[in-house]
Structure 1
Amino acid sequence: MNFKKLISIATIASVFILGIVTYYLYNKAFTANTTFTQNEVFVFIPSNSTYEQVKKILDPFIKDMDKLDFVSHKRNYEANVKSGKFLLVKNMTSFDVIQALRNNIPVKVVFNNQESLEKLVQRLTTQVEPNGPSLIKAFTNPAFMKENGFNEETILALFIPNTYEFFWNTSAEKIAKKMVKNYHNFWNNERKAKAFEKNLTPIQVSVLASIVHKETVKVSERPLIAGVYLNRLAQNMPLQADPTVIFAMKKISGNFDQIIKRVYSKDTKGAISPYNTYIYVGLPPGPISMPDISAIDAVLNAEKHDYIYFCASVERFGYHDFASNYAAHQVNAKKYSIWVNKIGIKR
């Protein structure tokens, strides 16, 4: 056999072998390797996960784990597992899956008006990786609270209900720091100036706003109610806010899940707590809930008037009737009492 034939045979063999290898590699790395039928799914990889743990998480979504192992090894993913939230798309190849597992996707964290730090934490744990105890520890760390001007009674004022963006695996401590950053962004110079004009600190505004928030769901009425409470504070009158009595009763019992729709005279006298504004003059020591932005801005932009009383209206459901003197208020209060008794609201 002459030399040219040997070269020709060797060349053909090389091409054949190369073809086999190429097909093998292509089949391993670049053919569809997912099982789900929906267009996309999200997977969550906990912090400090091993590759074997990742495989268990991916198992319901991957057709051939051997193919994924092959690409994972070639791409050095086994030694560089990332935690977080990751997007898998229908018919992804093994190569695509490994690429996707390196792209941590932010999550939208949403929370609204909550009555306690514990309830806020319950809400957060459904949206981020840190568990309840770690979040409570981060938020109530004495050094953290002192550094940022809060205490255990006022810490709820730190959290402004809104939509936030975090990585799912963000630590509890970093979440706390981001809440502080957002708090300072929210309390800009304009808002702080308005609070100063009313002789209130931002925290005191939040405390009063939490009462206003609980008094009415009608956003348009909140500046009017805020004006009533500011008038009372100016006259050194007790706020006598029923929501503070309800909060005091819940705090005393330790049960924030109970529903209390009606406050009796015995409650205003019997709920011995600094949160009971029938007993104590001035603002309670902390928010009775997490006020939303409309309630905070209602205090900062409170209507100026001479009202010092208000009572739920029986003609305009959800709204209130206002009065500048006690006699007029008694008329409104009597109408409301008759209506409440008529419909049978006991507690």
Structure 2
Amino acid sequence: MWWLVLFLSVFSIALRAPVAIAAASIARTIVVDLKGGGDFKSIQQAIDSVPDNNNKWTKIHVAAGVYREKVNVKSTKSYILLEGDAAQTTSIEWGDYNGDSSGHDTETSATFTSYASNFVAKRITFKNTYNGFANLTPAVAAWILGDKSAFYDCSFIGFQDTLADMLGRHYFKGCYIEGVVDFIFGYGQSIYEVSLRCVRSNCCVTQRCKISTVKSLQKPGYVTAQGRNSASDNGGFVFKSCTISGPQATYLGRAWRHSSRVIFYQTFMSDIIVPAGWRIWNAQGYEGLVTFAESGCAGPGSDLSGRVKWEKQLRNDELKTFIDISYIDGEGWLDAQPPLD
């Protein structure tokens, strides 16, 4: 019965093997062009044209230009791929801020808001044009609440609360994020990492996620303010092979809630990092619950000798849990999204 033993062995291996998930195809393409060469001149009009409860991927290609509008992707507008020509040439810009004359709070100040699950953006800039050099106040560039959201080669520009990584599982690859205070904040479960793009068979381009401070009267600043509030919450920000630089000193982060979790892995840190690295802020007395950690980082700002005593030292198995893509993608939702070109 050797053949039966062989069959059962092969069948058992097949059951354990990961199942390849086919990437989705694009069912419809909408073109937005300020000059009138597309289907719409406004990004919001293009998004509104997608049927509610949509379940087929729709590409909205946004031609080069500065689109001065507030954009909102409602929870009923899932399966949208928002694509610019390049982050350097395609941008969405607006200038609301918390407490402006319109009465906007932090959330409604956002230039771009997405509540929808299964959302992808690539090669586009989200910018809040409010100038916070002398008067910092929350002024969000992008507010992300939908689950299964991915951003490729995008830029997020602001001063305070630039990127609201609020709720859900999110993936940022090869992106640029700029600000001063809490400029990556929220409750999200997210990985930020390097992008490796092969433009020809023998030529690959590496684009790290770049985190940059900007000049402000607020000194020093804070890169992150993560809001995990309990041990049962899966949230946390993981930065893999990123860079942190800029003209102004900064902490890596401060604890917005009692179980705040932020991990920097193999990230280059310039000399702008404050030696202590972290601030306890709203988690005073809960230092044992906060997970702020660094591993394998490089650069003059990565010196751990002056770090706060309560910074976590993660075991290899603990670290692997967070740096592996399964931390945000155990079921393969990234592979099920449309392929990148």
Give the TM bin, normalised by the shorter chain: under 0.3
Instruction: Tell me: higher relative CO, structure 1 or 2? Use CA pairs within 8 A at least 6 residues apart.
Output: 1
TM-score, L = length of structure 2? 0.22
TM-score, L = length of structure 1? 0.22
Structure that is richer in strand per residue:
2
Which protein has the larger Cα radius of gyration, Structure 1 or Structure 2?
Answer: 1
